[in-house]
Structure 1
Amino acid sequence: MRKIAVVDRISDLPESLLCHILSFLPTKEAVATSLLSSRWKLLWTLVPKLDLDSENINTLPDDDDEKCDIMFANIVSRVLAQQQCGELQSFRLQWQFGWDGSHLDAWLRTVAARKVKELYLDIHIGYSYDDVENLKLPPIFFSFRTLVVLKLSGDIDIDIDIDIDIDVDVDTPALSFHFPSLKILHLLNIHLAEDSFLRLLCGCPILEDLSFTSEHLEGQYKICVPLLKRLCILETEFNDSDYELEICAPALEYFNFDGYLRDIKFHENLDNLVQAGVYISTFEVEDEHEECFSKRVFRLFAALNNVKFLSFSPSGIEWHSIANIYPSAFQNLVQLEFKVVDRNWHLLGDLLQKAPNLESLVISKGYDFIPSNLCWKEPKYEPEYLSSLTSFYYRGFKGLNDEVEFVKYILKGARVLKTATIQFYKGESKESVPEKLSVFPRPATTCLLRDE
């Protein structure tokens, strides 16, 4: 009786509010509410968001892949046919298909007619269908005039071949895509050829947020997006090919790179850059390639030298031989997060010397699988470049000699430091905390030195 009373009380809410509540549920659960009462029967059809997942909807006991495909396709088609809202806010499709992906054409035509604003496609080929090619998106996909957000992931191929009847500049190919309203574009493990990638971006004139993984990239790629504010590039461990990436994004405010560093060139000064994350892994760099790798890192930081908030994690085994990667002072840098291992202490020291206005320093200690005798070495001169530092945080402190010497050096040089926090490595005995902290000098009477 109590459950019925609660349902009745909720049912008294305005229809618009009920639809808003249902929009937070996957479509399967939203449809299930039609059993609650006559008022709820068609309420889900008014919800402007559809979220359909083949893994959650297919419940056939005999685990017949072909029957599951047919059942899911029928369900999606019926849901779209019964959906009664005038315009769709979002359509999310998570689909593991096997033998037939042809239904996607009709589904995309339907959501395009509903002027969908957000489209999420996460499509994968079943494990038992290794010989099936990536799903090629139908022609209707290439011109979604109302889309504001587009996120694609999985076994999708958006490469298209267009017959061009007129001569065009190589750098400004014919527009094969037309997304005049698109502001956010995320591509996860999508197959992209150079020409298709450039055409795609040219078809997004007001794009502000671009994120992609580069598992399938090989060759030369260009990102020329005048209004782009966020750019995230993730290198996967499966991509062992080299590629070149040219970037022209003068409005960029946020940049993130994670993976093995490729040949990246910025063609505009990033005067608007606020935040950057650089997480570079090194494979075993041979002697003849060491200079080339150093130049790539140097060129990347030259483009980022206006950044205010920087997170840098140089991991891998070859950083001990890499030097002089910072081209000039980071005059605007106020916050630095750095992951230090035995092999990159020198990179941290060099960067601190080039950040005269640094206010916040966060150090995370990593531990190499390969032992190294490299450690922190205190510069011979006074650390005047720490004169603006007010906050210091050290994560993963074990009390090793290089760690102790580094923390002592920071506390000695940071004259206006307000808080210094030492977070001990998990498993480190708390009994040793007072003894290890007692060796640290107090840089100022107002500084709070604490452990976590």
Structure 2
Amino acid sequence: MEDEDGGKRVRAKGYGEVDWISNLPDCLICEVLLCLPTKDVVKTSVLSSRWRNLWKYVPGLNFGYRDFQTRNAFPIDYSAFLSFVDRFLGFNSQSRLQSFRLECEFYGYDEPEPGDAFVRRWINSVVRRKVKYLYVSDDSCDVVMPPTIYTCESLVSLTLSGLTLPSPKFVSLPSLKVLSLGIMMFADDDDLALETLISRCRVLESLYRVVTLYIERNYLCDNIEVLRVCSQSLLSFTHVADGLEELVEDLLLVIVDAPRLKFLNLRDGRIENFILKNPSSLVKADIDTEFNLSCGKKFDPNDLQKRNMIRNFLVGISSIKNLIIASSTLEVIYDYSRCEPLPLFRNLSSLRVKFYGYTWEMLPIFLESCPNLQSLVMGSTNYQEKEGINILSEPRRVLSSSLKYVKIERPLKGEAMEMKLVSYILENSTALKKLTLCLDDSIKKEESVIFRELLTIPRLSTSCQVVVL
């Protein structure tokens, strides 16, 4: 089929041979192309005369250095990559830009004009074009961002990783609502740079600090040891650090002072001290940290500073309604509970526990501090299984009279500690309506002794239904 210009039209396979794609308006096609790498967007120009110039009007640019690998995958054709981005930014250079995504790496690139000079020029260009969504990542940690990154008044979302940032002497980001920062350094080793940047983003709602270090790549360019988050507008804060088990460096201190904060996601075992100020607005938390007590370090009951920190942290999150917590964190809480009573989580109605293997034994201690809990889900992670603490043999009190729904997602194999956990829940839950269990594929439900044993465990709640998946 030909269009009015004689070019071949793009035919979308579907019901009744209707060419749905060509019938779409240009603005909608550009939104679809916005999801593709820019190099692929350019290729659409050969589809027909209708598509010949559409790529020029796509409101977003997505460049990745991996798109310029040679046939043998390595090395990267840096000259082609740099030339392509340079030329593309020249098209419609005066028009506004909705999004700009750049993934680069300049290992071994040694030319008269270094790679970071190109990046600075590109960033300055997109800032002038009033970009709204900006993502820049450099796997080599060699690129130094220009100061204009702090004065882009159109920015709504900013993601930076593997970069060196200038000290924020002047910040004007009146539209920035989402800030995501990965591995990075601040020039001049400015200890207050990150705190300054966050505090001057006046309408910031979501802050992500996601650090993934790979020892084999020697990604040790991050110089943030004290993380201070002070924001009057922040609603959501995520701090995640992966791949750090073998690192000696610790994140010594995290301070969060955000009176409007509703969601806290914390996953970093290196944290020595965590201070949560003004936590009254907190509704949901996802916690996975050992407070620097992993890798052979043990909880010391005589360490009053550590005990005070854990107490203050637990009190700070005790008003939340929804909690996701790792079993490694529960182990620290259990050790702490042998020294001091846990605070009551009176508002907690939904609890999800992520277990390493079958280490469920420390859970009852925490459940006794949740008098109004209604829903409990016990999931699992892919982390290496650990030895649990055998405390289920100790006498336990009746569980919350409000607990109605329990689900154990990890497939049961019929091991002794699993059966003890199921018995504990059924025999101590007065208002339980439904217990959902998953059996391992190796166990045939109808013929299994374990299946029959599960169904005959005494139940304190006469209305409890046991569902086996």
TM-score range, shorter chain: 0.7 to 0.9
Letter in 2 for 1:158: L
1:296 corresponds to which residue? 309
Shift of 1:46: 0.8
1:386 corresponds to which residue? 400
Give the one of 268, 283, 295 matched to 2:295.
283
Shift of 1:354: 1.2
1:228 corresponds to which residue? 234
Distance 1:395 1:339 in 2: 10
Q: For residues 46-445 of structure 1, what are the structure 2 equivalents within 5 Å?
A: 46-59=57-70, 63-65=74-76, 68-83=77-92, 86-98=95-107, 99=109, 100-101=114-115, 102-125=117-140, 134-154=142-162, 156-160=163-167, 175-192=169-186, 193-213=190-210, 216-236=222-242, 237=244, 239-242=247-250, 243-260=252-269, 261-268=271-278, 270-281=279-290, 282-286=294-298, 291=303, 292-315=305-328, 319=332, 322-324=335-337, 327-340=342-355, 345=360, 347-364=362-379, 369=385, 371=387, 374-377=390-393, 379-381=395-397, 383=398, 385-396=399-410, 397-425=412-440, 427-428=442-443, 430=445, 431-432=447-448, 433-444=450-461
Going from structure 1 to structure 2, the CA distance change for 1:372 and 1:329 (only over 3 Å counts) comes to closer
1:130 corresponds to which residue? none
Letter in 2 for 1:248: D
- CA deviations 1:239-277 (Å, max 9, x no partner) are 433312222111010001112132111222x22211101
Q: TM-score, normalised by structure 1?
A: 0.84
- CA deviations 1:55-112 (Å, max 9, x no partner) are 02344669454xx112101101111112478321111111122322210122112111
1:284 and 1:317 in contact (8 A); partners too: no
User: What SS does the aligned partner of 1:338 have?
Assistant: strand
- CA deviations 1:323-368 (Å, max 9, x no partner) are 3276421111001112346996564222211111101011236797
Distance 1:401 1:187 in 2: 45
Shift of 1:184: 0.5
Distance 1:75 1:342 in 2: 49
CA RMSD of aligned residues (A): 3.0
Letter in 2 for 1:392: V
- CA deviations 1:126-168 (Å, max 9, x no partner) are xxxxxxx6321122222111111011122x11143x7xxxxxx
Distance 1:55 1:339 in 2: 35
Report % sequence identity.
28
Q: TM-score, normalised by structure 2?
A: 0.82
Distance 2:260 2:37 in 1: 36
Length, aligned pairs only: 426
Shift of 1:414: 2.6
1:36 corresponds to which residue? 47
Distance 1:178 1:26 in 2: 30
2:379 and 2:409 in contact (8 A); partners too: yes
Distance 1:240 1:149 in 2: 33
Going from structure 1 to structure 2, the CA distance change for 1:262 and 1:331 (only over 3 Å counts) comes to same
User: What SS does the aligned partner of 2:229 have?
Assistant: strand
- Segment drifting more, 103-112 vs 408-417: 408-417
Shift of 1:318: 7.0
Distance 2:86 2:356 in 1: 54
Distance 1:64 1:364 in 2: 43
User: What SS does the aligned partner of 1:299 have?
Assistant: helix
Going from structure 1 to structure 2, the CA distance change for 1:426 and 1:234 (only over 3 Å counts) comes to farther
Shift of 1:183: 0.7
Distance 2:198 2:226 in 1: 15
User: What SS does the aligned partner of 2:255 have?
Assistant: strand
- Segment drifting more, 304-313 vs 183-192: 183-192
